[in-house]
Amino acid sequence: DAKTTQPTSMDCAEGRAANLPCNHSTISGNEYVYWYRQIHSQGPQYIIHGLKNNETNEMASLIITEDRKSSTLILPHATLRDTAVYYCIVRVDQGAQKLVFGQGTRLTINP
């Protein structure tokens, strides 16, 4: 699976949009971009995933560049409960593919 690079930490003010970048310059054509987050002392929570088109759901939006070498997760109106470690993972969607977690971005939402 392709490797991802994320900033170690970020801060964002409550109510503002939080934009979390991820670089995956070695991504293959059949690899999807997945985002998970982990709130302290809990299991990871799925947020969103995409292949090449931008995606939106009730939690977030995912913007993937045209060359697919990077992506941005957008939390449109961050709340204090969005404070967590956010993981960007790329993997092929077939079979029982395992998820390999990098170090992620520790996002802190400030009041």
Partner 1 sequence: GAVVSQHPSRVICKSGTSVKIECRSLDFQATTMFWYRQFPKKSLMLMATSNEGSKATYEQGVEKDKFLINHASLTLSTLTVTSAHPEDSSFYICSARDSSGFSYEQYFGPGTRLTVT
List of residues contacting partner 1 (CB under 8 A): 38, 41-46, 87, 93-104
Which residues have CB under 8 Å from 40's CB, separation 6+? 84
Tell the smallest beta-carbon distance from residue 35 to partner 1 (Å).
13
Nearer to partner 1, 14 or 106 (CB): 106
Tell the smallest beta-carbon distance from residue 23 to partner 1 (Å).
17
Q: What angle do CA 57, 64, 96 make, to 5 degrees?
A: 75
CA quadruple 43, 88, 34, 61: dihedral sign: positive
Tell the smallest beta-carbon distance from residue 71 to partner 1 (Å).
18
Nearer to partner 1, 47 or 109 (CB): 47
Nearer to partner 1, 50 or 104 (CB): 104
DSSP 83-106: -EEEEEEEEE-STTPPP-----EE
Taking the alpha carbons at both ends of the chain, their separation in whole angstroms is: 37
Nearer to partner 1, 19 or 38 (CB): 38
Tell the smallest beta-carbon distance from residue 87 to partner 1 (Å).
7
